[in-house]
Amino acid sequence: MSPCSPLPMTIWNAALKIKTSAVHFLRFELNTNMIVALKSGVAMFVGVDHPHYPCPRVSLLGDLLESLRNDFA
């Protein structure tokens, strides 16, 4: 699958005029091709590609991956 960029919750909070908390979430919007691939059994990886916050990609496994696949059922 191709990379998917996150949408930080702070953008939505700013639009709604809500203060952000100490915990921040990222939302990833998968396109149709990504969803079809995920539902067909393709592996999914997450990671960070930023020069100041390197994080190697890791594979989503087990219940987490199954739950995500069920979200798109």
- The pLDDT of residue 46: 85
- The pLDDT of residue 33: 92
pLDDT in tens, 37-54: 999 999 988 888 778 877
Q: Which two tokens stand for residue 65?
A: 């991956």
Domain containing 13: what range? 6-71
- The pLDDT of residue 28: 80
- Please report where in the chains the tokens 């396109």 appear, as a residue: 31
What pTM was computed for the model? Answer: 0.61
pLDDT in tens, 5-33: 665 555 555 556 666 566 666 678 888 99
Q: Is residue 1 part of a domain?
A: no
Domains of the chain: total? 1
- 58, 46, 36, 4: CA torsion to nearest 10: -150
Taking the C-alpha atoms of residue 72 and residue 2, their distance in angstroms, rounded to an integer, is 18
Q: Is residue 41 part of a domain?
A: yes
Helices (DSSP H) in the chain: which residue ranges? 9-16, 32-39, 62-71
Q: Is residue 48 part of a domain?
A: yes
Count other C-beta atoms under 10 Å from residue 57's C-beta: 11
Taking the C-alpha atoms of residue 64 and residue 70, their distance in angstroms, rounded to an integer, is 10
